[in-house]
Amino acid sequence: MSREIKFRTFDRISKEMLYYDIFDFSEFTGIMQYTGLKDKNGKEIYEGDVVKIDGVLSGGFHGGELKTFICDISFGGGAFIVRDLKRHGYCEYLGNKPMSYEIIGNIHENPELLESS
């Protein structure tokens, strides 16, 4: 199965997110790749998105408790991962259950989401 390859970048001058299929990367910073997955509302999930998860993160680290987690999407170890911002570094692979995620912002347009975690 193949997935679409898309990118977006945050333009600091116009303060808006720009979406591209193919472009010259030299003019931008903060390039974020599309993961190929969508959240529970059908929004495309990109690297750099901040998501809310109502559930249990995998791995048993949280003792199986049902909680709300604020996480960011990043790329590491050859895969897209979800990092729990309150636990700084705990993660799971994005492909586990993307439909339970809800995008609430991204690290460029909503840096306050990272601070409140």
Q: What is the pLDDT of residues 2-20, one digit of tens each?
A: 567 788 889 888 999 988 7
Which pLDDT score, from 0 to 100, does residue 1 have?
44
The answer to whether position 90 is within a domain reads yes
Which tokens in the block code for residue 32? 């974020």
The answer to whether position 30 is within a domain reads no
The answer to whether position 67 is within a domain reads yes
Q: Percentages helix, strand, coil for the chain, rounded to the nearest 5?
A: 10, 45, 45
pLDDT at 57 over 70: no
Sheet holding 101-106, edge to edge: 91-93, 79-84, 67-76, 49-55, 101-106
* Domain span at 77: 38-115
| Mean pLDDT, residues 73-88 | 79
pLDDT at 60 over 60: no
CATH number at residue 75: 2.30.30.290
pLDDT at 44 over 70: yes
Count the domains in the chain.
1
Please state, in angstroms and rounded to a whole number, the distance separating the CA atoms of residues 103 and 39.
7
